[in-house]
Copies of this chain bind each other. A is one copy, B any other.
Amino acid sequence: MKNSIKVERAKKNITQADLAKLAKVSRQTINAMELGKYVPSTVLALRLAQIFEVEISEIFTLEDSDWV
């Protein structure tokens, strides 16, 4: 799964730490997500979509490998 958190963050011009606070998770969680190190829960994905005011599908997109 890909995500465009870094881009959305750039649009809003906020740091990982800022976003972590807004989303109520640790900064490492944001960092690891941006680096594709793990897949967030749907609750966190919904929170991010709400923060960035976009649809989840604009931030997170499935790849073929996600169906294996």
Binding site for B on A (CB under 8 A): 1, 24, 39-47, 49-50, 55-57, 60-62, 66-67
Contact = CB atoms under 8 A, between A and B. Distances in A.
Nearest to A44: B42
A66 to B, nearest CB: 5
Contacts of A62: 43, 46-47, 50
B43 A41 contact: no
Contacts of A39: 41-43
Contact of A47 (B40, B50, B66): B66
Nearest to A41: B39
A65 to B, nearest CB: 10
Which of A1, A42, A61 has the most chain B CB within a 10 Å cutoff? A42
